[in-house]
């Protein structure tokens, strides 16, 4: 497995989007990073909300947030499974 995949494991791929988290961010609340091409965003998972946006248009950001909401349970389970209950 490539080093980047260990540090930034992909949790979900849907459409053009890659959902992942950084293994070295255990002291932050559960969140997910989403990339498409050179665009990126970070969403909190409890409750789902935008933390940061780097280039997505408002319309596309709403679509991405909808996907985060649709997969919230799965994303939270993966977060806690990878980083532990305290992560």
**Residue 6 has what pLDDT?**
52
pLDDT band with cut points at 50, 70 and 90 for residue 85:
low
d(CA 61, CA 81): 27
Residue spans of the domains in the chain: they are 6-83
Contact 26, 86 (CB under 8 A): yes
Rg over CA atoms, the chain? 12
Residue 11 and residue 19: Cα distance in Å, rounded?
Answer: 6
Averaged confidence pLDDT in the chain = 87
Question: pTM of the prediction?
Answer: 0.85
Pick 30 or 3 by higher pLDDT. 30
> Quick one: pLDDT band at residue 1, thresholds 50, 70, 90?
very low
Of 5-9, 31-35, 52-56, which gets the smallest average pLDDT? 5-9
**pLDDT at position 84, please?**
63
């Amino acid at each position: 497995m490539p080093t980047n995949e260990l540090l930034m494991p992909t949790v979900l791929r849907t459409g053009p989007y890659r959902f992942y988290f950084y293994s070295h961010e255990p002291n932050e609340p559960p969140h997910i990073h989403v990339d498409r091409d050179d665009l990126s965003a970070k969403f909190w998972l409890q409750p789902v909300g935008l933390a940061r946006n780097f280039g997505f248009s408002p319309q596309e950001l709403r679509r991405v947030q909808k996907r985060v909401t649709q997969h919230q349970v799965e994303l939270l389970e993966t977060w806690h499974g990878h980083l532990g209950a305290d992560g």
